Amino acid sequence: MDVLKTAFLLSVIALFVVATPRVAPAQGVDAQMLLHPPADSWPGYHGDYSGRRHSALTQITPQNVKNLTLAWAFQTDQRAEIKSSPLLVDGILYFTVPDNIWAVDARSGHQIWHYTNPKDKGDHIGHRGVAMYKGYLFFLSPDAHLVSLNSKDATVRWDITVADVSKGYWTTMAPLVVGNHVIVGVSGDLDNLPGYIRAIDPETGETQWQWNATPPAGTPNQTTGGMTWMTGTYDPDLNLVYWGTGNPTPVLNGKTRPGDNLYTCAIVALNPDTGKLAWAFQVSPHDTHDWDAVQIPVLVDGDFHGEPKKMLMQASRNGYFVVLDRTNGTNLLTVPYGPVNWSLGVDKQGRPIPNPAKEPAPDGRLIAPDEGGLTNYRSPSFDTKNGLLIVDAHPSWSIYFTKPADGAYGWAGADYDVWGKGVIEAIDYQTGKIRWSHELGPRGSGAGVLTTDTGITFTGDAMGNFLALDSSDGKTLWHAGSGARTQSSPITYQLDGQQYVLTSSGGVMFAWTLPEGL
C-alpha cells in the first residue's frame, strides 16, 4: 500500500471531518482522528502525533484566563499519583494509575467505569496512560502484559505478555497507535536486560515486529539496557516513528560495557510497518548517570537558520537540548539548557563527549544535573508562534559513587541528590538560548507543559500550584493551589463550545474552564 498516498487522502478526509460537526455516534479512534485530532478529542498520549502538546483552541486567552474556574474534579481515591496523560474520545476521558483505568464523562467528571487489574506483580512506579484503536483500549500493566479492553464496558478482549516480569521487566507507558500497529515499550533497569520496542496487531495481539535496543544479556563486552518506557512520536509523511531509549546497564558502572553502548540513551527512527531502523542519534554515549533519552522527541517543521527543515527536538535528561534533521538524523544543534559538568564538549556528530573523570568513582564525583536529570518524562511543549520549546527544567547537583564491591549488575553504585530546583525554561530552538524562565521552587516541579495558540503556557510549580503563564515572557496569568505536586502533563479540548484544560495533582484530576456566559 502506498502509505504517503493514503496519508494524503486521510488528511483530506480529516480536514473535512474537522470542518463538519461530528454527529456520528461513538466510534472510537480511527486513523483520521489520530492524524488530525478534532477539537473535541485527545486521542493519543501527546494529543496529535507531533509531541508538541500544543493546542489550536482559542477560547481561553491571556486576557480571560484569570477567570478560569473549576468545572469538576475527579478523585481516584488512590494513594498512587496520577502520572498519566488522559485520552479523550467521544466525550469520554480515559486515564490511569498502575493497575487502574477510569472512564470519566468529560462534561461532568463522573465515573462511567473503573477497571482494576490487581496482579500485584511487577514494579508499580507509575503509569502513563492508555492508547485507543477503534473501540478498544490498550493498557500495559506493571507485570508487562498488554491488555485490550472494550472501551464501552472495560471487558477484556485479550491479554498478552510483552515482557517477562520474572526477569525484572515491567511496563508503564502509553502505547502509540500507528496504522494497524500498537507500538509498545518496556521498563527494567534494575537488572541487566535488553530493552526493545514491539509492534502488536490491535485485533489479534500477535507480535508484528520487535526492535532490540541492545544485544541479549551476557553478550561479552556489550551493554544491556536501553529501555523504551515513553511514548514516541510519528511523522506520517516520512512514515517514521521516533522513540527515545533509556540508560545502559549496569547503570553506574560502565567498565564492563566499553564504548558508546548503542542503542542506549538514543533517539531512534523506525519504520512502523517493519521495525527497521532508519537512523539513530545517541544523546548520551556511554552513559554512567542513569540519563535515559526517553524525553519526548518533538517534531517541528520550520525555519532553521534560513532553511526549511523537518526537525526533531529533545530537551534531554542529560542536560542537553538537541535539534536533529528528522529525515536522516543529522544534528543541527546541541547545547546545554542548564548546569552540565560531565562532558568534554560536543563531537563532530553533535553528541556530547562524556568526561571519563566524571564517571562515578569510589570517593564520589560531583555531577550536574542529578540522576532525575535536567528534565524527565513529563512533556515539554512547542509554542509555534514564539518558536520556543518550553520545558520543566530541573537545575540540580548530586554525587555519584561506584566501587568494585558494587559489582556489575543492576544499579552497581550509589548516587545522592545534593540540591535542585524547578524552572520553566523557554528555549529558542534555533540557538538553544533561554528566552525566558520562570522559577517553580525548591527541589523541582514534575508538571508537564501545554501551550495554546492564544499564547498560554499551562504547567505547575514545586508547591502544587497549577499555573497559566504568558508564553511570550513567562509572566503568571492565573494560578490555583491544588494541594499536591503535579506529576503529569496537561491536556485541553473543546466540548459543547466550551474549552477545558485538564491538570492533575496527587490522585485528583481537575477540569478548568471559563465561567458560562463569559
Partner 1 sequence: MKWGGIFYGMKSLGLFLRWNVLQLIPLFMVLAVSAAQTPTPSAPARSAVKKSGTVARKSYPPARVQSGATLFRRDCSFCHGRDAGGGETGPDLTRSKLVAADVGGNKIGALVRNGRPEKGMPRFEFSDQQIASLVAFIHTQKNKAPTKKGGRKGVDVADLQTGNVEAGKQYFEGAGGCASCHSPTGDLAGIASRYQGLELEQQMLYPKHEKSKVTVTTGSDQTITGTLDYLDEFTVGLIDATGAYRSWRTRDVHYKVDAPVNAHVEQFPKYTDDDIHNLMAYLQTLR
How far apart (Å, rounded) are the C-alpha atoms in residues 369 and 289? 9
Least distance from partner 1 to the Cβ atom of residue 428, Å: 23
Report the residue number, 107 or 403, with the smaller CB distance to partner 1: 403
Looking at residue 44, its amino acid is G
CB closer to partner 1, 172 vs 452:
172
Nearest residue (CB) to partner 1, 107 versus 479 = 479
**Helix, strand, or coil here: 430?**
coil
CB-nearer residue toward partner 1: 107 or 124: 124
Question: Which residue, 218 or 308, has its beta carbon nearer to partner 1?
Answer: 218
Strands (DSSP E) along 23-66, which ranges? Answer: 54-55
Q: In terms of CB distance, is 151 or 486 closer to partner 1?
A: 486
Query: Cα Rg for the chain, rounded, in angstroms?
Result: 21
Q: For residues 134 and 136, give the distance between their C-alpha atoms in angstroms, rounded to a whole number.
A: 6
CB of 140 to partner 1, least distance (A): 15
Closest approach of Cβ 363 to partner 1, in Å? 4
| Of 304 and 397, CB closest to partner 1 | 397
Sheet holding 476-481, edge to edge: 54-55, 450-452, 456-460, 465-470, 476-481
Residues found near partner 1 in the complex (CB under 8 A): 79, 81, 120-125, 142, 166-168, 190-192, 217, 250, 253, 255-256, 290, 339, 341, 357, 361-366, 368, 371-372, 397, 399, 401, 403-419, 439, 441, 443, 461, 463, 465, 476, 479
Q: What is the β-pairing status of strands 343-346 and 352-354?
A: antiparallel
Comparing CB distances to partner 1, the nearer of 209 and 401 is: 401
Block residue for cell numbers 564492563: 256
Q: Which amino acid, 192?
A: N
From the CB of 362, what's the least distance to partner 1, in Å? Answer: 5
Please report how close the Cβ of residue 38 comes to partner 1 at its closest, in angstroms.
Answer: 36
- Nearest CA to 194 out of 214, 221, 171, 165 is that of 214
Least spacing, CB of residue 167 vs partner 1, in Å: 7
- The H or E element containing residue 14 is helix 3-19
Residue written as grid cell 509555534: 384
Judged by DSSP in three states, 145 sits in strand
Q: How far is the CB of 399 from partner 1 (least distance, A)?
A: 7
Alpha-carbon distance of 1 to 506, in angstroms, equals 46
H helix or E strand, kind and range, residue 185: strand 181-185
Q: Which three cell numbers stand for residue 127?
A: 503509569
Q: Which residue has the cell 477545558?
A: 500
Q: Which is nearest to 472 in space by CA: 384, 381, 386, 382?
A: 386
Nearer CB in complex with partner 1: 168/352: 168
How far apart are CB 467 and partner 1 at their closest, in Å? Answer: 9
